[in-house]
Amino acid sequence: MEKLLDSLQLMVIGLTTVFSVLLLVIYLGKGLITLVNRFAPEEEKPKAVANNASASNVVDPNVAQAINMAISQLTAGKSQATKIERI
């Protein structure tokens, strides 16, 4: 019976140690993320000009026709694309 109690005590100590180390890793990670975001924020990307963005979103008519034909063939003519734009 004494060996069983010793093994249970060892198991509880081990589980407590693992749980404590995992909590330490989680909170140190959150702190590191907070520090990095505060002192080295992500650089903002320059916004594209509206005229330039609309010109780059235009899809070639041949490509649009090929996409529509592929959709029609895959859905047996039950569906079609209503809007095609480049991302």
Alpha helices in 40-87 (DSSP H): 50-56, 61-74
pLDDT, position 55: 56
Task: Please state, in angstroms and rounded to a whole number, the distance separating the CA atoms of residues 43 and 11.
Answer: 48
pLDDT at 18: 98
**How confident is the model over 20-75, as pLDDT tens digits?**
999 999 999 999 999 999 998 878 777 755 555 455 677 888 988 899 899 989 89
Enclosing domain of residue 34: 1-41
Global pTM reads: 0.46
Selected residue with higher pLDDT from 82 and 24 = 24
Q: What is the H or E stretch that residue 23 is in?
A: helix 2-39
- Domain count across the chain: 1
Question: What pLDDT shows up at residue 17?
Answer: 98
Q: Is residue 75 part of a domain?
A: no
Q: Looking at the domain assignment, is residue 4 inside a domain?
A: yes
